[in-house]
Amino acid sequence: MYKNYNINQLVLPLNLEIKIQDNDIARHVNNLVESIPKKAFDKYYKETGCPAYHPRMMLKILLCAYSQSVFSGRKIEALLSDSIRMMWLAQGYSPSYRTINRFRSNKEMQELLCQCFIQFRAQLIKEKIINNEA
């Protein structure tokens, strides 16, 4: 006997949040970036041009990718279509590797990213998720 399997069956979109465990790294990344005051992102807001991806979302995908030792823009782009945690953090958006690289090479964003990474590491040590040597 086999379990029911039908590739042609209609499947409704799944809320990805239910697939992410409570102690998953993606939740910690999400909580950290959401704790950043809105004011920190005001200087990146532009009134003209094509709407940009929100800096919070971009920070989340970068921090999550970095926590998995993925640093290549192309590999991060691939994770956005393969990884449930990355899909959840990006909420279905999939910025290209060029957009990812442009975002992280922005001078002001590099400083914010560095501060986030330090704070994130300190938070993980405090919650005893990683040890001090990591």
Higher pLDDT, 43 or 97: 97
Query: Given a cut of 70, is residue 114 above it in pLDDT?
Result: yes
89 occurs within a structural domain: yes
Q: What is the pLDDT of residue 50?
A: 80
Report in angstroms the alpha-carbon separations of 2 from 7, 10, 11, 68. Answer: 14, 20, 20, 35
Report in angstroms the alpha-carbon separations of 102 from 17, 48, 57, 79. Answer: 28, 18, 14, 18
Q: What is the pLDDT of residue 4?
A: 66
Single out the residue of 44, 82, 45 nearest to residue 61, CA to CA. 82
28 occurs within a structural domain: yes
pLDDT band at 6 (very low <50, low <70, confident <90, very high): low
Q: Summarize the confidence of residues 37-44 as an average pLDDT.
A: 78
Q: What is the pLDDT of residue 2?
A: 62
44 occurs within a structural domain: no
Domain that holds residue 74: 22-33+53-126
The number of domains in the chain is 1
Q: What is the pLDDT of residues 58-107, one digit of tens each?
A: 999 998 998 899 999 999 999 999 998 999 999 989 999 999 999 888 88
